[in-house]
Structure 1
Amino acid sequence: MTALEADLAGRGHVLTAPLRRALAALPPAGLAGQGIRLLGRIDALLGADRRHEPLFRGFPDAVPDHAHSLYSERILAFLLSQPHQPCLACGRTGDIGALAPCAHLVCSTCLAGTGRDEPDAPDAWRRFRCPVCGAHPDDPGRPDREPEPEPAERSRPAAGNGRTAVVRESGPPAPLRPLRLGAGAGPRDGAAAVLADLLARRTPLSPRDRADLAAVLPHADPGLDWLPAEIPVRETRAAVLAALLRREATAPAARTLLPAHLDTATDVLRLLWAYSGGEPDLLDPPRLRSLPRALRRELLGVLDALPPESVAEDMLRRRQAWQRAGEVLHPFEYRARFPRAAVAFAVVRGTDLSGERNEWLLDAAAGLGERVRLVSGRPGGAVRPAIRTFASETERLLGAGDTAGATTLLLRRPGELVRRLHRLLRVHSLWTGADDVPPGLLDALPAALRRVGPGPLLGAWGRLRVPHEAGERRVFFPRGTIALAHGTDDHAPPVPPAAAAAVCAALEAELLRRAAESGGETEDGPDGTAVLDAALADLVVPFAERAAARALVAVPRGSRRPLPGGDGPLRLFLHWTEPRGQRVDLDLSVALYDAEWRFTGLCDYTRLAFAGRAAVHSGDYTSAPPPRGATEFVDLDPALLARAGARYAVMVVLSYNDVPFDELSDAFAGVIRPDGTGADGTGADGARASGARSGGRSRQYDPRRVRQRFDLAGHARVCLPMVLDLAERTALWTDTNLSVAGGLHNVYRHRGRLGRLAADLTVHFTPGTRATVWDLAARLAAAGSAQVWVRACDGRSAARYRRGGRESAERFAARVLEGWGHDELRTGTAKEISGALAGELGADGRFAALVDGDLPARWERGELYRLFPGPLDAGLGPDVRLLAAADLTARFAPAAD
């Protein structure tokens, strides 16, 4: 157990008491097996299961300032060191050999002369140097040799390149991440708890959550009693049903559940995609599997029972996909049994219904409603069914300026109304010149909003609550398997402030109403204590999570965080492994821009050092053969970069030879907080650094100091994961990709597009322009708690807000959100404030939403959201539920009918 705890500490993790007791109760063999598996999973999570060796082994000190000069020296040495050449020192021939690693040809006499001071000393071999360049096999300036440990000094000359390597002080140790014991008495119980949580989510699952769902489904009880009556997320619903249909033991029972769980035609299509091994998001079509006859009949029966107009309209949205689905469903084989389903496929296929064989289908189509009509080009010609879609009718009304008619139509589908609110208000202002809202909208809006999901609701609120100007840049994130952002100039007239304010008031009222419903008030009113971090305002509410990168820390796209090293250095890393038989050249690069987004420089394989080593690249690998792969690093000094005129540093990963990331065996990148060691692995105090290589681990990659690690995935070739603001010392998590074509990708080639995209994203995610985790957490806390503590961003003060006996939830929430009218203010050091809040949380806490789980509290019951784990995790009882940002969003889902 002691050895396991030491190994975990070396990876930045610690066992909580319940988990330690459970492991200690295992027999020695069981403990060893569990320990090996646990360490292996942590290593994979942190990227520490790979060998991370930079090209210049003494990185960062041994990286040359002028890479081209070093390359020229190597080429010259190669040309001069052919076997027929004489000794490069004295000119004699014979008794010639090539020295490693410089490859200079010298005779034994000249080599012996360099070590004649103490030729019999035990380490005399260290004293021999090449008489041509002065290098020996232990030169840290050589990219193919590792440096030997030397006595540490505050600053010392780096051998082989004549520069001075300044050793920085180590920062504070990274906090240990507590490991908790899972719920339940065994793996099956634990899987059931995780499964229940995932199925209850009301927002699309992230890549990590989808992987968890696939992992726990095989451990679920073969009986289907655990399957809830409602699975809110349709993609999750399709994935679960497909998994049950593929299992022989559960397939018959699962078929009987399909009518209850599939209520749209698109749900059927998602199920077909998932059943065939694809993703139910319908973005990347798989090769559809043939279906058993029983399943075909069940699915056609579901389609036949749905409203015919909505079925045909849903199918037309994805015409090509449904044409492929018809090849495995064979709808006309059962046209007599399921006529409305057959007509819907006829609409999609444009089937000619003339002729005696299809006469009965004409009768079925004629009775499907006014929006379904039969179209014939000429008398006696082909007769084909067609449908007037909801979207086309809406666009017709908006194009004619009939906002009253468009409002009436959109109120039939509240989700579409909220998605089009911004455009509806714009069109109304453009056609009428007034600053009010379309007639009837404000009266009908509160009732309509009760049926809208949290995503569209929060999106519309975030868009309308901030005034905009004509001509400003807008950024769009098209739905897809990878995150692509497109910016454009928006020259349309903005929404009038009065109209936006009126609609925002209705949206905010609905948000507060939902918060009160989910706040869990007792019969006597709100009770208990909530603890919040004001820094949650920097975390954007998650959106487009289907395309989010799988990351160590689930930072929502668009969020801002302080740089991990503060004013100290920052290390970026990239590791990849190419598939056998295919060379893949990825490049880790940094593009630098000034405050006006003018390109000022770069640090990549073409320029290893920038601005007096304010940015240093570890060297360019052009391939990454398995099993080792390849690793590249870039060290950044924010203070030096800012003094060099750079305001923004854009991290970029490029596929130089145009191989998409999803074809790689393994690829990930991230951020490390360096430990302040020099190239020899020693710190400023002369001691060997804890991050120095041990057991095959690179000294440049200390898993305990990994602050973020994310996978490179999808059919993308250029990834832009973050933008560093060197003046504000913050990092904007962008998690997006740049669409490119051709090969030979590098920063300089794409510098203009990279700068424009980064500038657009920086403006798009300006604080206050989107709904944040703070907006959600503060409303939930105010609605369900008697008092709320809010810790300031600097951690040195905390304000307490007590809800008055007659104070409305709206007023209390406004006080907490806007930071006025607090009942108590405590100040002190960050440690003192954390201790005080820990006491409040442990005594009567019911809800906490924090950026860092750094409160040293023992907390038995409640709900917790924290971005980064910390000491609080070690003190959580079994009845404390950990929440993700998506869970907070799900609290604002509409109530079930």
Structure 2
Amino acid sequence: MDNLETLIIARRLRVPIGDDPAGSHPGWGEVAARQLDAALLSVGFKCSAALLERLARLRGETVIDLGVRVLAAVRELVGDHVRHNAYFIDFPRNVPDTMEFWAGLLREALLDPVAATRVQPATLNLLALPGYGRYQHTYADLLAAHAELIPLAGDRVTVLQLGTGLESEARELYFSLAGSQVPLSAEDLAALRTLAAFCTGEPEHIPVRENRAVVNEVRLAAGRPLLVETVTDVLRLACGCSGGDVTLATPTRFRSFRRAERRALLQALDAVASPAKLGDVPRHREQWKRLGERLHPHEQPRLPRAAHVFEVARGVRRARSFDSHVEAALSEGRTGEAVDLLEKAPGALLRRLDHLLRTGTAPAAVLDAAGKAAAGASGRVLLSLREHLHNRLTPVAGRVFTNRHGRAWATADTRSPIEDDVLSRAVTLLDDEIARRLPDLGELIIDPDVLDVALPLSGKAVAPGLGMLPRGSLSAVDGELLRFFVHWRQAGRRTDYDLSALLLDASYGDPEHVSWTNYGNDFAEYSGDLTDATDGASEFINIRLAQATRSIVIPQVHIYAGEAFDEAAEAFFGYMSRDAGQEGRPFEPRTVRMKSDLRGAGRVALPLVFLRGDDGVWRAKWLHLYLKGHPGFNQVEGSRVTASLLVRSIIERDYLGVRYLADLLRRKSSAGGHTTYIGLQTPADLPEGARVYTPSTLHELIPA
């Protein structure tokens, strides 16, 4: 129950409190509620008026118990559940010059008779010098060296709302995740699995196949009919039941299934294994072979079509995929035949529309087919294509390709252009179909700050956290000081992460960096390099925005040695903003604007980029990217060119945002009836019963 409560607080910023049949309790509940509110304010949170009023009616002991859990949840959300020490105790003050620092370490080593024997000029390893890479003071020493934080009105205050009972809140979150039109992150899939085991029922429609696999795990355990449409749905379910990856990105070691489970899986497989669906099997041939060893299809002679699946996997039976038929037609110049094939799969046709328009001799026929396909494709496909076609109108530095893990690469755009009138017609038919599907949300109230937030067309690369926005979103950076940070704790072997910043001018040139090889410049300071994180380590970079002589700041986290981001016991990144005269420790939770876990297969993380616009205002653009990097010894100097090209491609790309959807929604909104609010946070003065969409629920606006 505590895990569910923490999940709801972190995902929805709502505190689940059920109705109390006994009514209010005289006592010190109001005092305890005020104490909780004060404690929350110290980490940048506070109770809404409704939550505070509800807490005041509870017993004091109940408020204290609940408050301990709420405070723990929000402290972890903001990154305040660990002690953030810094290598240089006075950071950002008194950071030494880089060369002076190394010279001082070397001088101390030579003066130490024991250490001097290890300092050999021919094989000098600066990172092995005594005193380097480990804290030289305690956390208490750090606190004593810094004045208390000066609270200012610009500090972040995130309001926690009053929730309903735990069961009701869990069900609402479960239906939101299960019914999502966009793929979920790994963390949200794990949350969905937890919720599915707790909640009863499920949405009528579960469009994303990974979500369906998680729900099917519960249905299989309960002996209920499975929700499958393709043979791959059964494979995903088997992977999920074995503790594997329902996205099929990594191989799964299948467990032994009980007889009833084998029969249910084979029956589901037999029901969907038509000759047309067998073409999906070769894509995951090896996993099907391993699954066949566990399901024993020969025990079910009355399910012959299920056996055909494993015959295709073993190569005994041949089955061509739908995509292979389409590719053959396109490679031989038979575009009309390819279009005829794709008309049977509306989503596939729209995903290939750019290619068809470039290779076909009759774009009008292709567009007619696209118009028919639009009515049968998902809203997510329509919006993704709309964004793609819009960016075809404006040349960019390069094309960016990103996989489900956030691994990205860029290449030059060598595609032939598409005529403007053809693009215009394609865009119009998409706009019309998207607008047709949008509901009437009644009186629409939209926070201007949310207009530049990108629509969440995929959540796979975005780890949930505080202040997280989809890739391509723009958000304002308040304050005069920008400070980003990384914290990690190794699981089993020495792990060295390096926080760095690549600094570029407005034309993406004149590069400069701040890292362990360059401790600072006229407007930036580095907190010092830590090379061991047995008990956790934190690194910071401080940027004085008003003095910055560069317009682009790209924070990076490099794995120099040791465990990957998803292997470490803990790894997260975030940033703070403060006013220039604001005192405080290197890490102050109430100034944190964003914090999220680091994960992914890459060795270099690029969470976001900070940009100074022509108006002089600094903004953050969200990246959620990981570079492959090297197996070890990654440095900002080595990834400078790749990072610059990737970041430029994303900066220059126009992402489809809330502004676009808001314009379409306003055409259908009615003046009377219910109220709908879209914003970054829930305001306090909304009418009763108003529907609220914030970044955590923006995916619910994506039409079906």
**Alignment partners' CA distance in 2, 1:389 and 1:217:** 33
Q: Residue 397 of structure 2 contacts residue 645 of structure 2 at CA under 8 Å; is this kept in 1?
A: no
Q: What secondary structure does 2:602 align onto?
A: coil
For 1:472 and 1:38, how far apart are their aligned partners in 2? Answer: 46
2:697 aligned with 1:888, yes or no? no
Match of 1:865 among 693, 699, 704: 693
Q: Which AA in structure 2 matches 1:236?
A: N
Deviation at 1:530, TM superposition (A): 1.2
Q: Using the TM superposition, give the Cα deviation of residue 326 of structure 1 relative to its aligned residue in structure 2, in angstroms.
A: 1.4
Partner residue of 2:340? 408
Q: Structure 2: how far apart are the matches of 1:197 and 1:183?
A: 16
1:35 to 67, 74, 79: 67
Paired residue type of 1:519: D
Task: Establish whether residue 510 from structure 1 lines up as the match of residue 418 from structure 2.
Answer: no
Aligned counterpart in structure 2 of residue 847 of structure 1, from 676, 680, 687: 676
In the other structure, the counterpart of 2:23 is none
How far residue 231 of structure 1 moved from its aligned partner, in angstroms, is: 2.3
Work out the CA distance in 2 between the residues paired with 1:398 and 1:238: 33
Report the alpha carbon displacement of residue 4 of structure 1 after superposing the two structures with TM: 1.6
* 1:784 aligned partner: 669
2:630 match? 741
Are the structure 2 counterparts of residues 60 and 545 from structure 1 closer, same or farther at C-alpha, using a change threshold of 3 Å? same
Provide the TM-score with structure 2 as the length reference: 0.86
Q: Which digits, 9 at most, give the CA deviation of each residue in 1:601-635, with x for residues without a partner?
A: 1101111111x2x0100011111112xx1111100
Residues 577 and 630, structure 1, Cα contact 8 Å, conserved in 2: yes
Shift of 1:271: 0.4
Q: Number of residue pairs matched? A: 651
1:209 corresponds, among 175, 188, 204, to 188
Is the 1:469–1:494 Cα contact (8 Å) retained in structure 2? no
Query: What is the CA-CA distance between 1:866 and the residue it aligns to?
Result: 3.1
The residue correspondences of 1:368-517 to structure 2 (distance < 5 A) are 385-428=317-360, 432=361, 437-439=363-365, 441-468=366-393, 473-478=398-403, 480=404, 482-515=405-438
In the TM superposition, what is the alpha-carbon distance from 1:785 to its structure 2 partner? 2.2
Find 2:306's aligned residue among 341, 349, 354.
341
User: Hey, what does 2:199 align to over in structure 1?
Assistant: 220
Q: Corresponding residue for 2:28?
A: none
The answer on whether the counterparts of 2:48 and 2:159 sit within 8 Å (CA) in structure 1 is yes
After superposition, the Cα gap between the structure-2 partners of 1:595 and 1:658, relative to the gap in structure 1 and judged at 3 Å, is farther
- Which amino acid counterpart does residue 235 of structure 1 have in structure 2? E
Q: Which residue number corresponds to residue 530 of structure 2?
A: 621
Which residue of structure 2 aligns with residue 70 of structure 1?
Answer: 101
5 Å-filtered alignment, 1:69-108, equals 69-80=100-111
Q: Report the 3-state secondary structure (helix = DSSP H, G, I; strand = E; otherwise coil) of the residue aligned with 1:203.
A: coil
Q: What is the CA deviation profile of residues 781-808 of structure 1, one whole-angstrom value per residue up to 9, with x for unaligned ones?
A: 3213238xxxxxxxxxxxxxxxxxxxxx
Deviation at 1:452, TM superposition (A): 0.5
Deviation at 1:37, TM superposition (A): 1.1
Amino acid at match of 2:457: F
2:160 aligned with 1:256, yes or no? no
Q: Distance in 2 between matches of 1:845 and 1:731?
A: 34
Quote how far apart the aligned CAs of 1:270 are. 0.9
Q: What TM-score do you get using the length of structure 1 for normalisation?
A: 0.68
Determine the C-alpha separation between the residues in 1 that align with 2:139 and 2:193.
43
Give, as a single letter, the amino acid of the residue that structure 2 aligns with 1:241: N
Amino acid at match of 1:267: D
Q: Which residue of 2 aligns with 1:322?
A: 288
One-letter code aligned to 1:57: I
Gaps (5+ residues) in structure 2?
Answer: 1-31, 117-129
Please name the residue that 1:362 is paired with.
none
SS of 2:628 mapped into structure 1: coil
Deviation at 1:413, TM superposition (A): 0.7
- 1:78 CA displacement: 4.9
Return closer, same or farther for 1:175/1:756 CA change in 2, 3 Å cut-off.
Answer: closer
SS in 2 for 1:673: strand
TM-superposed CA distance for 1:506, in Å, is 1.2
Residues 383-782 of structure 1: matches in 2 within 5 Å?
Answer: 385-428=317-360, 432=361, 437-439=363-365, 441-468=366-393, 473-478=398-403, 480=404, 482-515=405-438, 518-519=439-440, 528-565=442-479, 568-580=480-492, 582-610=493-521, 612=522, 614-626=523-535, 629-642=536-549, 646-657=550-561, 659-677=563-581, 683=582, 689=583, 692=584, 699-728=585-614, 729-763=618-652, 765=653, 767=654, 770-782=655-667
Q: Please give the secondary structure, in 1, of the residue aligned with 2:159.
A: strand
Change (3 A) 1:270 1:423: same
1:641–1:726: 8 Å Cα contact kept in structure 2?
no
Q: What amino acid is aligned across from residue 423 of structure 2 in structure 1?
A: A
Query: Structure 1's 638 and 781: CA in aligned 2 closer, same or farther, altered over 3 A?
Result: same
- Output the CA distance in 2 between the equivalents of 1:232 and 1:191: 20
Partner of 2:27: none
C-alpha contact 1:531 1:849 (8 A) present in aligned 2: yes
Give, in angstroms, the shift of residue 544 of structure 1: 3.2
Q: Does 2:205 align with 1:230?
A: yes
For the 8 Å contact 1:55–1:144, the answer to whether it is kept is: no
8 Å CA contact 2:349–2:370 kept in 1: the answer is no
Shift of 1:704: 0.9
Contact kept in structure 1, 2:483 and 2:576, CA below 8 Å:
yes
Aligned-residue offset at 1:183: 2.1
Residues 316, 81 of structure 1: alpha-carbon distance in 2 compared, 3 angstrom cutoff: closer
- Is the 1:658–1:717 contact (alpha carbons within 8 Å) kept by the matching residues of 2? no
Structure 2 equivalent of residue 359 of structure 1: none
Contact 1:603 1:616 in 2 (8 A): yes
- The match for 2:14 is none
Identify if the C-alpha distance between structure 1 residues 301 and 144 changes in structure 2 by more than 3 Å, giving closer, same or farther.
closer
- Look up the SS of the partner of 2:318 in the other structure: strand
Instruction: Tell me the alpha carbon deviations over residues 113-165 of structure 1, each in whole angstroms, 9 at most, x when there is no partner.
Output: xxxxxxxxxxxxxxxxxxxxxxxxxxx9999964866999xxxxxxxxxxxxx
Q: Which runs of 5+ in 1 are unaligned?
A: 86-101, 104-139, 153-167, 246-250, 352-384, 521-527, 678-682, 684-688, 693-698, 788-843, 868-882
Distance 1:240 1:81, change over 3 A: same
Question: Contact between 1:575 and 1:632, CA under 8 Å: does it hold in 2?
Answer: yes
- Which one scores higher on RCO, CA 8 angstroms, separation ≥ 6? 2
Judge conservation of contact 2:600–2:626 (CA < 8 Å) in 1.
no
Q: Provide the secondary structure at the position in 2 that maps to 1:181.
A: strand
Would the aligned equivalents of 1:243 and 1:275 in 2 still touch at CA under 8 Å? no
1:572 touches 1:669 (CA, 8 Å); kept in 2?
yes
Contact kept in structure 2, 1:56 and 1:618, CA below 8 Å: yes
| Aligned equivalent of 2:177, options 198, 202, 205 | 198
- Is 1:722–1:731's contact at 8 Å kept on the other side of the alignment? yes
Partner secondary structure for residue 437 of structure 2: helix
Give the Å deviation of 1:304: 1.6
CA separation in 2, counterparts of 1:500 and 1:472?
Answer: 20
